[in-house]
């Protein structure tokens, strides 16, 4: 089917009597995605209305708030009420925290905000996990009830299933966003937002709502009160980011996933060790192109509306250490964990009460994941031994407490992605990579990164290590919309990860490489192009980005038309979710 035929069918369907109503109703099979033509029709309508109201800040913010709620409703159904609940609760608690003069009471209000946010997150994201673990430990058959669905059925006569708890799309992102707002108000880093509409707009801004980047109140809220401004160059930059993100998603992420990665990860034992290795490298490129592609589009859309979102990726596969990688990858989450978890625990200065609270939290999670008292015993015994050693060797205590803070941060970062041993392994390995490198750089003869060969070697090792950890990350991640709303099958995920690991260790037959090149040459060519472009020097990327932004509008339009035609020729008929929607 040609591009023109696709558009014609879409328009004919769009204005049919049956579909006009469906345009405004939630359909689980057709979420509102950046890769759908329906989204761009929606966005064109939004821009048309926006062109009338953009000069009046209050009207503009109110309009975008309503648009964002509709966007989330189309993406996640009546879960938009959870978003509203988080919005209203943290809006009111922000005032309570700010107006309270007594420090103890102020902390209680902050604690209430954190408890509410984490309770909502835990209920929807970890309910089945805790239920399964509890049943395994106690020998019961308890099943969590969806009280939210039950209440909706009673109040609004809906027919939601009460025996199934689905995961609201992007709940981890907007929960962290509202929680950071309360913490920043407590720290006097930001004043409470006076208007509930403005605060709701901050929480729900649709370009970044379901997959980030996580926006800080101190950076975003001042923009709500500034007049709209979009220069010709900013318009060009916005269009560049949108096209760049779409090309990353469709040409790199989806193509590699459909033609290589999904096949191998679904049945790693059916493929050779070399094919598993290539698929692992392919997944590293896929997850980057998918997630950074979403972020690029979000940044571009926000810029067209007059708002700037934070940078979320900085060529992460150029990193020369694991620590440097996490300064370049998912920057909004990394900085969030640093500012609201690592530093409060003491950072590199030592431990705090919060360190032990976090340790207890990790111990509880490991206990429930394993379903074994032995795991809890060994974990606590190791901590006690570490504390005793610290009493004897004070200098050593400072060193290992700092590294414990790093490990806790990375373990909790892993558990943020999901309740699974795979995410624990993934987070723990990344934490271990940071700790080991801190020791290695003190004795490494190749630490002088001013020499290009030393840096190239460090980048190569870092990329391979990060890709290796993705064995567990990909095995614990949903790869379709059907699996996103189901609890993790922990046993199956471990089998997948172990099967791939076994193949990599025992079946690396390099003699089959010519046959693999012959069979996978198209996928390998796309992967090669993706990695080459990724490794371009930053000044090259700035150059062609600015060239595009400064080009005549006619040239920009011609490029966009060509890119759209290319995208719809390649676009898969299978709906491919953005990977981070599940988080």
Per-residue pLDDT of the chain (583 residues; tens, 9 = 90+): 555 555 555 455 555 545 555 566 666 666 677 877 788 888 999 999 999 988 888 999 999 999 999 888 888 777 788 888 899 999 999 999 999 888 889 989 999 998 898 888 888 877 777 777 767 776 777 676 666 666 666 665 655 555 566 677 778 888 889 999 999 999 988 889 899 999 999 999 988 887 778 888 888 988 988 888 888 899 999 999 999 999 898 888 888 988 888 888 888 888 888 999 999 999 999 999 999 999 999 999 999 999 999 999 999 999 999 999 999 999 998 988 888 888 887 766 766 677 777 777 777 777 776 667 777 788 788 877 877 777 777 777 777 778 888 888 888 888 888 777 788 889 989 999 998 888 888 887 777 777 888 888 999 999 999 999 998 888 766 544 444 445 555 555 667 788 888 888 888 888 888 888 888 889 999 999 999 999 999 999 999 999 988 888 888 888 888 888 777 777 655 556 666 565 5
Q: Where are the domains of the chain?
A: 31-228, 233-313+512-583, 330-475
pLDDT tens by residue, 309-357: 999 999 999 999 999 999 999 999 898 888 888 888 776 676 667 777 7
Which two structure tokens, joined as six digits, stand for 369?
């994941």
Assign 314 to helix, strand or coil: coil
- Determine the pLDDT at residue 574: 56
d(CA 561, CA 245): 15
- Determine the pLDDT at residue 583: 57
What ranges make up the beta strands (E) of 168-327? Answer: none
- Determine the pLDDT at residue 237: 93
Alpha helices per DSSP H over 248-345: 255-256, 262-266, 273-304, 322-328, 331-337
- Determine the pLDDT at residue 532: 93
Helices 103-138 and 353-370 cross at an angle (nearest 10°) of: 20
Helices 196-204 and 171-186 cross at an angle (nearest 10°) of: 130
295 touches 306 (CB < 8 A): no
d(CA 493, CA 478): 10
What is the b/e burial string over 53-91, where b = at least 16 CB atoms within 10 angstroms of the residue's CB?
bbeeeeebbbbbbebbbbbbbbbbbebbebbeebbebbb
- Determine the pLDDT at residue 484: 46
Torsion of CA 138, 142, 144, 147, to 10 degrees: -120
d(CA 310, CA 419): 28
User: Within the chain, how many helices (H) and strands (E) appear?
Assistant: 26, 0
């Amino acid at each position: 089917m040609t591009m023109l035929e696709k558009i014609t069918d879409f328009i004919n369907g769009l204005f049919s009597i049956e579909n006009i109503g469906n345009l405004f109703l939630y359909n689980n099979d057709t979420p509102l995605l950046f890769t759908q033509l329906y989204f761009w029709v929606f966005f064109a309508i939004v821009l048309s209305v926006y062109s009338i109201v953009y000069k009046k800040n209050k009207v503009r913010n109110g309009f975008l708030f309503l648009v964002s709620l509709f966007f989330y409703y189309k993406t996640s159904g009546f879960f938009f009420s959870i978003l509203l609940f988080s919005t209203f609760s943290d809006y009111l608690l922000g005032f309570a925290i700010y107006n309270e003069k007594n420090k103890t009471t102020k902390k209680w209000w902050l604690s209430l905000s954190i408890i509410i946010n984490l309770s909502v997150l835990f209920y929807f994201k970890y309910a089945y996990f805790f239920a399964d673990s509890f049943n395994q430990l106690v020998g019961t058959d308890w099943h969590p009830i969806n009280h939210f669905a039950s209440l909706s059925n009673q109040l609004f006569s809906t027919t939601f299933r009460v025996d199934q708890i689905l995961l609201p799309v992007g709940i981890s992102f907007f929960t962290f966003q509202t929680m950071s707002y309360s913490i920043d108000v407590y720290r006097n880093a930001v004043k409470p937002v006076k208007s509930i509409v403005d605060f709701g707009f901050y929480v729900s801004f649709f370009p970044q709502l379901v997959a980030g980047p996580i926006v800080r109140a101190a950076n975003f809220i001042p923009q709500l009160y500034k007049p709209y401004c979009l220069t010709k160059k900013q318009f060009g930059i916005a269009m560049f980011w949108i096209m760049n993100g779409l090309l990353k998603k469709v040409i790199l992420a989806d193509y590699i996933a459909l033609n290589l990665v999904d096949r191998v990860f679904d049945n790693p034992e059916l493929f050779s060790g070399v094919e598993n290795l290539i698929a692992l490298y392919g997944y590293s490129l896929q997850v980057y192109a998918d997630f950074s592609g979403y972020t690029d589009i979000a940044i571009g859309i926000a810029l067209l509306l007059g708002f700037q979102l934070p940078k979320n990726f900085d060529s992460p596969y150029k990193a020369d250490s694991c620590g440097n990688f996490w300064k370049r990858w998912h920057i909004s989450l990394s900085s969030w964990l640093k500012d609201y978890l690592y530093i409060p625990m003491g950072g590199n200065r030592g431990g705090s009460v919060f360190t032990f609270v976090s340790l207890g939290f990790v111990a509880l999670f490991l206990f429930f994941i394993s379903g074994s008292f032995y795991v809890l015993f060994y974990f606590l015994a190791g901590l006690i031994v570490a504390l005793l050693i610290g009493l004897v060797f004070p200098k050593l205590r400072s060193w290992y407490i700092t590294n414990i803070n790093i490990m806790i941060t990375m373990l909790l970062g892993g558990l943020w992605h999901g309740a699974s041993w795979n995410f624990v392994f993934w987070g723990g390995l990344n934490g271990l990579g940071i700790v080991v490198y801190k020791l290695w750089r003190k004795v490494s003869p190749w630490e002088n990164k001013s020499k290009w060969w030393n840096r190239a070697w460090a980048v190569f090792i870092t990329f391979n290590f990060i890709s290796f950890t993705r064995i567990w990350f990909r095995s614990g991640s949903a790869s379709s919309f059907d699996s996103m709303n189901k609890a993790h099958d922990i046993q199956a995920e471990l089998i997948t990860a172990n099967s791939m690991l076994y193949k990599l260790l025992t079946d690396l037959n390099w003699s089959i490489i010519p046959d693999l090149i012959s069979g996978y040459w198209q996928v390998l060519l796309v992967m090669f192009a993706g990695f080459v472009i990724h490794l371009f020097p930053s000044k090259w990327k700035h150059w062609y980005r600015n060239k595009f932004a400064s080009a005549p509008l006619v040239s920009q339009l011609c490029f966009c038309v060509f890119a759209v035609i290319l995208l719809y020729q390649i676009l898969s008929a299978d709906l491919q979710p953005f990977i981070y929607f599940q988080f």
